[in-house]
Amino acid sequence: MRSSISLGRVGGVPVGLNISVVVIVVILVIGLAFGRFPIAFPGLSTAAYVLAAVVSALLFLASLLAHELAHAIVAKRHGLEVNGITLWLLGGVAELRGEPRSPGADLKIAGVGPLTSVVLGGLFALLSWGVSVIGAPPLISGMFGYLAAVNVLLAVFNLVPAAPLDGGRVLRAFLWARWHDRLRAAVAAARAGRVFGYVLIAIGFLNLVSGLSLQGFWLALIGLFLVNAATAEEQQTQIDAALHGITVGEVMSRDPVVAHPDETVAGLVDRLVLRHHLSTYPLRDDDGRFAGLVTLGRVRRVPPDDRVITRLREIACPPSDVPTARPGDQLTELLQRMSGSTDGRAVVLDDDGHLVGLVTPTDISRTIQTVDLRAREPYRTPRGADLAPPPPGDRTPGGPSSGGPAPGGPAPGGTVPPAGRRDAA
């Protein structure tokens, strides 16, 4: 669910589209322009139907964006950082860094998304009524009516009490408040999400084998996504809880073997790689400051004949793209920054910016393997994403879908995760 197309920033939050969103837009336009709209409003030109469908698709994406922005804005007000928002095939994801401090904050962040969708549904319903009163073409009124229904369905679907849907976040907040145990609450919500996912897969499979409609395909797709997301979330919850309280300094490899930015690739191979057999080599300049990161993967991408003339600075991951930390930082916070980083490594700097350590996947794996020997207080870093509701049956005109087509066009969606949660649902 990485962003493929940047849409800039909205309220200081980076917004982008994953290329998969093109699929839902195409399905929506085709379904509305050649299905729902011609049936509901016959006698118009194809151009009119296509124009209305395109406008509906764009307003649908805008509705999804508003849903996610609501999560992001409330999250920021509660002290969480927002890495960005991405719209994709099955809805939207707002990546949050950190976690709510209380059940109340968790509830507000989760609940504002569906509330926004309900408000949008009311606004579109009001627009539908207003344009019909002033005598506008019925197609325009029908377009707004469709968007009103889609937003309400989006809110209802995402309120199902199953993580990583918004309803799962709400369930987690209530259980957290009741049990006073965030880990237990998060695991319960994730397991509810997995059960709901299996139910959707079963219903979808039955629809497909009975030949009732292609709606079964979308139900099964959403169900599969929910099962995978909920399972990953439960595992991540338990790992975060186990790693809580461990600092970067306890995990890092101290005094890593370093190279100079002006050294050649061939020099690095002869001097260090063949002797130390390490996978990562930080670069340090003449002032002793971190100047980039070279991995064996980057070295191998340099043709053998070019290694004697290629400088390490030319192939290194630049310092700005490498996650950094201080020895006293929490490991769980660093892991969030490392998620999705270019080389999957982080460097540890002292207060003067000098390199003192390195955190690699091997360091993290070693820590996870031995973490059960430590007694740690449970801790949880939330994640999530928004899914669109499944499309209505073949005979039902319109309606939102988890990225799936409605009979007259697919419908939009709402909440589910990545490595970095969108405490949004």
Question: Which residues are tagged catalytic?
Answer: 68
User: In whole angstroms, what is the distance from residue 51 CA to residue 29 CA?
Assistant: 9
State whether residue 156 is helix, strand or coil. helix
Which amino acid is present at 43?
G
Residues in contact with 406: Cβ distance below 8 Å, sequence separation at least 6, in sequence order = 28, 31, 36, 391, 392, 396, 397, 398, 399, 400
Go through 383-415 and write b for each residue having 16 or more CB atoms within 10 A of its CB, e for each that does not: bbbbbbbbbbeeeebbbbbbbbbbbbbbbbbbb
Question: Within 13 Å and on the Cβ side, how many CA atoms surround 197?
Answer: 24
Q: Is 210 exposed, middle or buried (0-12, 13-18, 19+ CB in 10 A)?
A: exposed
Q: Is 61 within 8 Å of 24 (Cβ atoms)? A: no
Residue 119: CB partners within 8 Å, gap ≥ 6? Answer: none
Cross-strand pairs, 15: 85
Cα 417 versus chain centre, distance? 5
Task: Let me know the angle formed at the C-alpha of 351 by 346 and 354, rounded to the nearest 5 degrees.
Answer: 60
Both tokens of residue 59? 């307003």
Strands 13-17 and 5-10: antiparallel
Spatial neighbors of 91 by CB under 8 A, at least 6 apart, are: 64, 385, 386, 387, 388, 402, 403, 412, 413, 414, 415, 416
In whole angstroms, what is the distance from residue 372 CA to residue 178 CA?
Answer: 27
Q: Which residues, 6+ apart, have CB-to-CB distance to 277 below 8 Å?
A: none
